[in-house]
Amino acid sequence: MAKVLVIYYSRTGNTKKMAEFIGEGVKKEGLEAVIKDVGEVEADELLRYEALIIGSPTYYGTMAGQIKQLFDETVKFHGKLEGKIGAAFASSANIAGGNETTILDILNAMLIHGMIIQGDPMGDHYGAVAIAAPDSRVAKQCSRLGSRVAKLVKKCTS
């Protein structure tokens, strides 16, 4: 079975909750979802999954240092993530607090790795976003993101 790795960093639980909703969306499509705190992830592990969904709180408009550090560690196998599917999500304290720039920074690193990114014309366009504690809108968008990534994995691996 194709596997999707959902990685998050979260100090106060908001981004972690989003990761859980995303995992539910992946499972709805019949794929395995592994959800991990970035502190539990060894960079080499990323090679074992068909898709990576990475989320961060917004720190000064970009990803937390812990997520950036993971990306920096991937340089040792640069080129080997090519063709994997990627997606991102972010939490912030404020509307217009930089959650979309955080997502775009994560997607930027994924694109440099040669990963495949799908936008969303109807839902959260760049990836799921939350302002503070995730509400029912966020739950829906996160689940939607997980399901869309899983569907794309199935398309690309069939």
- In whole angstroms, the minimum distance from the beta carbon of 142 to ligand FMN comes to 13
- In whole angstroms, the minimum distance from the beta carbon of 140 to ligand FMN comes to 18
Q: Does 132 bind ligand FMN (CB under 6 A)?
A: yes
Residue closer to ligand FMN, measured from CB, 39 or 79: 39
Residue of 36, 44, 47, 61 interacting with ligand FMN (CB under 6 A): 61
Residue of 13, 65, 83, 119 interacting with ligand FMN (CB under 6 A): 13
Are 65 and 72 in contact by the 8 Å Cβ rule? The answer is no
Q: Does 58 bind ligand FMN (CB under 6 A)?
A: yes
Contacts 24+ apart (CB under 8 A), 70-74: 70/7, 70/38, 70/41, 70/43, 71/109, 73/43, 74/43, 74/46, 74/113
Distances (CA, A) of 45 to 30, 57, 61, 65, 127: 21, 22, 27, 19, 23
**7-15, 31-39, 117-125, 139-147 -> range binding ligand FMN (CB under 6 A):** 7-15
| Residues numbered 68-97 forming contacts with ligand FMN, rule: CB under 6 A | 91-94, 97
Are 153 and 28 in contact by the 8 Å Cβ rule? The answer is no
- In whole angstroms, the minimum distance from the beta carbon of 86 to ligand FMN comes to 20
